[in-house]
Amino acid sequence: MDGNEKAQHNREAFQLERVILFTDAVFAIAITLLVIELKVPELEHRTEQEAINGLLRLIPKFIGFLISFGIIAIYWTAHHRIFRFVRHLDGKLIWLNLAFLLSIVLMPFTTAYQSEYGMLATPWVLYSVNIIATGLLQARIQMHLRNPTAGLVAEHERHHPDLDLVRPMMTPLVFGLSIGLAFFVHPWVLRLLPGVIFPLLSLYFGKRHRRLEQAYNQPAPAPEAVEST
Could you list the residue range(s) of the whole structural domain that residue 123 is in? 3-215
Let me know if residue 19 belongs to a domain.
yes
Let me know if residue 225 belongs to a domain.
no
Predicted local confidence at residue 129, as pLDDT: 95
Per-residue model confidence as pLDDT tens for the chain (229 residues)? 566 656 565 677 778 889 999 999 999 999 999 988 778 877 777 788 888 888 888 888 888 888 899 899 989 999 999 999 898 888 899 999 999 999 999 999 999 998 888 788 889 999 999 999 999 999 999 999 999 888 888 888 888 888 888 888 888 888 888 888 888 887 777 777 777 777 776 776 667 667 766 666 776 555 554 444 4
Domain count across the chain: 1
Let me know if residue 33 belongs to a domain.
yes
Distance CA 209, CA 45 (A): 54
- pTM across the whole model: 0.82
In order of 133, 164, 199, 200, 225, the CA distances from 196 in angstroms are 21, 24, 6, 7, 54
Let me know if residue 222 belongs to a domain.
no
Let me know if residue 227 belongs to a domain.
no
Let me know if residue 221 belongs to a domain.
no
Distance CA 16, CA 95 (A): 13
Q: Residues 96, 141: contact at Cβ < 8 Å?
A: yes
Distance CA 66, CA 56 (A): 15
Predicted local confidence at residue 8, as pLDDT: 61
Let me know if residue 15 belongs to a domain.
yes
Predicted local confidence at residue 223, as pLDDT: 52
Let me know if residue 228 belongs to a domain.
no
Indicate the SS3 state at residue 69: helix
